[in-house]
């Protein structure tokens, strides 16, 4: 009997013992293709010798030194590296232990920026429905997944939500991408005007929506319009690239494909590739200057910020990705995966949509393809597909049910960047069997 409080208390979980490349192995001798990297975490696959060597070396040298006394070498080197490749205007990095912590820190940076610049009335956060920004209270308040929020609602700060840009669900028949982008972005401007621009602090969005909607990119021009609205009203744009960032979509930052730069960007998962828990906020010079020229401090902090082991792991992961030109493989294998999914599921009666970018693909499951009607939430179809896939030695990340009464179940496919074409083919074959068995 386990003494761990697992997320699903009654689930009988296999015990993971090892991992090599794109494979995970359990203690019963079963092997799985890790086609989701957990939840888009293991971007480099498992057991990469260069990363484990860097971890050993760092553990031998220095495992921990508190940031109120010291900075440290791997954290400084990682910050240099991230800023050298950051979007325009981004000048500094703040290291935490994961995605939720990164969102919490970003929200506080946005708030402190307005306090430092004499706009203390700015406190409202606007975000989007069908989004996920983490499970800590500020992040949960910001996210738009009602299922996760309902019972904790009395503990959550007030936030405001607009519809996401989600073509499969919200683009109207005959509406061009351009008009849809304008309409979806207008929802932000309307909300800003409703609240009063002088009260609005930040707009938070995932460039490609991950866990709650299943790899949903926006249509062209949407984020450019969002950027313009934020600029017009002096609002801080926080792009949450915790899941879609760090190369997953084929460019280092997903938002590069939307042609915009944020004021704050959160990254995590693929930053350390699961070798250590790490996340970061990348912040703009403007925000840094407000702190530096104002109070001279960021009023925040955790025991493990800038953790040397975490930063050393992330540095090694990012060095290998660059050295081995793995983003080129993300693009090539992403196109191959997208093609194969289209061939296998293009006419499937229960697959409504296949979407995504790079090695970040979502397959949406519907009861009725012509009406897009989702399966009954009670069926937990996404969980069934996960189970059927696991029984066939395949890991895909399930999500959905009926969220905000809107969309159906989906599975996310987000394999390591090192995957090859033959393994992609096996992933699609096993996923096909799993979906057929589950529906």
Contact yes or no for 290/116 (Cβ under 8 A): yes
Contact yes or no for 300/287 (Cβ under 8 A): no
3-class DSSP assignment, residue 339: helix
Distances in whole angstroms, Cα of residue 241 to Cα of each of 189, 215, 227, 238 = 23, 12, 16, 9
In the DSSP assignment, the letter for residue 134 is: -
Query: β-strand 31-34 against 90-96: which pairing, if any?
Result: unpaired
Q: How far is the CB of 197 from ligand PLP (least distance, A)?
A: 26
Closest CA to 362 of 208, 149, 181, 182: 208
Q: How far is the CB of 333 from ligand PLP (least distance, A)?
A: 21
Residue with tokens 């939500």: 161
| Residue 399 CB neighbour total at 10 angstroms | 24
CA 161, CA 188: separation in Å to the nearest integer?
Answer: 9
Angle subtended at Cα 280 by Cα 276 and Cα 284, rounded to the nearest 5 degrees: 160
In the bound state with ligand PLP, the residue whose beta carbon lies nearer, of 181 and 205, is 205
Contact yes or no for 44/416 (Cβ under 8 A): yes
Which one among 19, 74, 98, 270 touches ligand PLP, defined by CB under 6 A?
A: 98
In the bound state with ligand PLP, the residue whose beta carbon lies nearer, of 307 and 340, is 307
Which one among 92, 133, 253, 357 touches ligand PLP, defined by CB under 6 A?
A: 133
Residue nearest to ligand PLP (CB): 99
In the bound state with ligand PLP, the residue whose beta carbon lies nearer, of 268 and 434, is 268
Q: How far is the CB of 113 from ligand PLP (least distance, A)?
A: 21
Closest CA to 101 of 301, 248, 315, 285: 301
Query: Tokens in use for 90?
Result: 């981004």
Is residue 210 part of the contact set for ligand PLP (CB under 6 A)?
A: yes
Contact yes or no for 425/66 (Cβ under 8 A): no
Letters for 14-43 (x = contact with ligand PLP by CB under 6 A, - = none) are: -------------------------x----
Q: How far is the CB of 239 from ligand PLP (least distance, A)?
A: 10
Angle between helices 421-438 and 326-345 (to 10 degrees): 40
Which one among 240, 258, 263, 353 touches ligand PLP, defined by CB under 6 A?
A: 240
In the bound state with ligand PLP, the residue whose beta carbon lies nearer, of 243 and 354, is 243
Closest CA to 50 of 323, 271, 269: 323
Is residue 267 part of the contact set for ligand PLP (CB under 6 A)?
A: no
Q: How far is the CB of 243 from ligand PLP (least distance, A)?
A: 4
Which one among 105, 242, 351, 365 touches ligand PLP, defined by CB under 6 A?
A: 242
Q: How far is the CB of 100 from ligand PLP (least distance, A)?
A: 3
Q: How far is the CB of 263 from ligand PLP (least distance, A)?
A: 17
Helix extents (H) in 69-136: 73-84, 99-116
Contact yes or no for 127/144 (Cβ under 8 A): yes
Residue with tokens 């400084």: 76
Q: How far is the CB of 148 from ligand PLP (least distance, A)?
A: 11
Give the interface segment with ligand PLP, choosing from 18-26, 147-155, 240-248, 360-368 (CB under 6 A): 240-248
Helix extents (H) in 156-214: 167-170, 177-195
Closest CA to 272 of 125, 13, 52, 20: 52
Is residue 268 part of the contact set for ligand PLP (CB under 6 A)?
A: yes
Query: β-strand 279-284 against 264-267: which pairing, if any?
Result: antiparallel
Which one among 34, 206, 353, 409 touches ligand PLP, defined by CB under 6 A?
A: 206
**Number of residues forming the site for ligand PLP (CB under 6 A):** 15
Give the interface segment with ligand PLP, choosing from 94-102, 112-120, 321-329, 350-358 (CB under 6 A): 94-102
Which one among 243, 267, 287, 418 touches ligand PLP, defined by CB under 6 A?
A: 243
Give the interface segment with ligand PLP, choosing from 46-54, 87-95, 126-134, 325-333 (CB under 6 A): 126-134
Give the interface segment with ligand PLP, choosing from 10-18, 97-105, 324-332, 358-366 (CB under 6 A): 97-105
In the bound state with ligand PLP, the residue whose beta carbon lies nearer, of 132 and 166, is 132
In the bound state with ligand PLP, the residue whose beta carbon lies nearer, of 140 and 261, is 140
Is residue 106 part of the contact set for ligand PLP (CB under 6 A)?
A: no
The residues that touch ligand PLP, with contacts defined as CB under 6 A, are 39, 98-100, 103, 132-134, 206, 210-211, 240, 242-243, 268
């Amino acid at each position: 009997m386990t003494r761990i409080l697992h997320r699903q208390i009654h689930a009988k979980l296999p015990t993971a013992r090892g991992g090599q490349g794109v494979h995970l192995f359990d203690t019963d001798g079963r092997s799985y293709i890790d086609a989701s990297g957990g939840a888009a975490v293991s971007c480099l696959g498992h057991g990469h010798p260069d990363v484990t060597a860097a971890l050993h070396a760092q553990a031998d040298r220095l495992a921990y030194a508190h940031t109120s006394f010291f900075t440290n070498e791997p954290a400084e080197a990682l910050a240099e590296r991230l800023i050298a490749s950051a979007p325009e205007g981004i000048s500094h990095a703040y290291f935490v232990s994961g995605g939720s912590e990164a969102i919490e820190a970003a929200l506080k940076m946005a708030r402190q920026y307005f306090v430092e610049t004499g706009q203390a009335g700015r406190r409202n956060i606007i975000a989007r429905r069908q989004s996920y920004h983490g499970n800590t209270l500020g992040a949960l308040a910001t996210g738009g997944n009602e299922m996760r929020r309902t019972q904790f609602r009395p503990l959550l700060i007030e936030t405001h939500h607009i519809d996401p840009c989600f073509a499969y669900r919200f683009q109207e028949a005959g509406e061009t991408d351009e008009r849809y982008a304008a309409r979806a972005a207008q929802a932000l401007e309307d909300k800003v005007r409703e609240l009063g621009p002088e009260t609005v602090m930040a707009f938070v969005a995932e460039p490609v929506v991950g866990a709650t909607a299943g790899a949903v990119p926006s249509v062209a021009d949407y984020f450019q319009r969002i950027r313009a609205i934020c600029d017009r009203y002096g609002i801080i744009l926080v792009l949450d690239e915790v899941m879609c960032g760090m190369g997953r979509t084929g460019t280092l930052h997903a938002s590069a494909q939307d042609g915009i730069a944020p004021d704050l960007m959160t990254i995590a998962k693929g930053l350390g590739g699961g070798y250590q828990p790490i996340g970061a906020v990348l912040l703009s010079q403007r925000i840094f200057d407000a702190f530096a020229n104002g109070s001279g401090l960021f009023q925040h902090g955790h025991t493990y910020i800038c953790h040397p082991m975490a930063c050393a792991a992330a540095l090694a992961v990012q060095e290998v990705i660059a050295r081995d030109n793995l983003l080129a493989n993300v693009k090539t294998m992403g196109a191959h995966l997208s093609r194969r999914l289209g061939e296998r599921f293009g006419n499937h009666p229960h697959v409504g949509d296949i979407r995504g970018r790079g090695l970040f693909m979502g397959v949406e499951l519907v009861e009725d393809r012509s009406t897009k009607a989702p399966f009954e939430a009670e069926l937990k179809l996404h969980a069934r597909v996960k189970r059927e896939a696991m029984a066939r030695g395949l890991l895909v990340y399930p999500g959905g049910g009926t969220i905000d009464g809107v969309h159906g179940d989906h599975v996310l496919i987000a394999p390591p960047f090192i995957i090859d074409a033959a393994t992609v083919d096996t992933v699609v074959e096993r996923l096909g069997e799993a979906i057929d068995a589950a529906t």
